[in-house]
């Protein structure tokens, strides 16, 4: 259902846009985020690389294997959040004893700015986001967007210009039948996110184990 919904949503897109043309972001921007990262998910990394190779002719900006992530929520700009408040946020989140889970990266789809995997099931991701959102509200660091706005996904390539969405759909269709990849999720990271050229990079500030 999730895969079908995401593909249908992309079906309404006529033209893809430059992902990097985003207000409020430049080379100097630094912000804190909650993210799921996947340095220990070889199946996801290998599958992403295979798909990137098959889509190379599109000329998009591939996400490196150490750049694969699922964004949960923005906490705030680095200059506006003191380190001590982050420590309090993480300590409060640890008290919630959040559970580990397994995601599946299901068929490729796209949005206006990226080629990405849908992920399923949504329930554990939504529950994790809701818990982090509640913790942020309790500690004075509310997340930028509510849980109801969350659309979990893992991007593998970013669009870097205007291009017909039909061209991208034609390239994706042969890859949509590939088998889903299971991705264990045993932690959530609080990171300091930045952009380097046409890629996202981050430093992990806190790791929060999921049990």
Each residue of 44-59: pLDDT tens digit? 999 999 999 999 999 9
16-45: average pLDDT: 94
Instruction: Output 32 or 211, whichever has higher pLDDT.
Output: 32
Helix ranges (H only) for the chain are: 2-10, 42-54, 83-94, 123-138, 165-172
Q: How much is the mean pLDDT over the chain?
A: 96
Q: Predicted confidence band at 23 (pLDDT cuts at 50, 70, 90)?
A: confident
Q: Which domains does the chain have, with CATH numbers?
A: 2-23+37-209 (3.90.1140.10)
In the chain, pLDDT over 70 holds for what percent of residues? 100
Q: Predicted confidence band at 128 (pLDDT cuts at 50, 70, 90)?
A: very high
131-139: average pLDDT: 97
Q: Is the pLDDT of residue 137 over 90?
A: yes
Cis peptide, bond prior to residue 136, ω within 30 of zero: no
CA pair distance 10, 14, nearest whole angstrom: 9
In the chain, pLDDT over 90 holds for what percent of residues? 94
pLDDT tens, residue by residue, 182-198: 999 999 999 999 999 99
- Separation of first and last alpha carbons in the chain: 28
CA pair distance 103, 152, nearest whole angstrom: 10
Contacts of 52 (CB under 8 A, 6+ apart): 62, 63, 156, 157
92-119: average pLDDT: 96
């Amino acid at each position: 259902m999730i895969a079908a919904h995401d593909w249908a949503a992309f079906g309404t897109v006529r033209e893809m846009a430059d992902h990097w043309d985003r207000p409020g972001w430049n080379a100097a921007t630094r912000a804190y985020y909650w993210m799921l990262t996947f340095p220990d998910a070889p199946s996801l990394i290998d599958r992403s690389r295979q798909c990137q190779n098959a889509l190379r002719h599109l000329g998009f900006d591939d996400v490196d294997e150490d750049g694969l992530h699922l964004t949960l929520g923005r906490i705030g700009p680095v200059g506006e959040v003191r380190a001590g408040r982050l420590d309090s946020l993480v300590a409060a989140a640890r008290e919630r004893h959040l559970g580990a889970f397994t995601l599946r990266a299901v068929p490729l789809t796209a949005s206006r700015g990226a080629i990405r995997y849908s992920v399923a099931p949504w329930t554990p991701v939504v529950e994790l986001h809701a818990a982090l959102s509640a913790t942020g509200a309790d500690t004075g660091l509310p997340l930028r967007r509510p849980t109801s706005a969350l659309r979990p996904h893992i991007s593998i390539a970013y669009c870097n210009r205007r291009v017909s969405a039909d061209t991208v759909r034609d390239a994706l269709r042969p890859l949509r039948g590939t088998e889903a990849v299971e991705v264990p999720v045993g932690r959530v990271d609080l990171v300091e996110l930045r952009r380097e050229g046409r890629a996202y990079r981050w430093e992990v500030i806190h790791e929060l184990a999921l049990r």
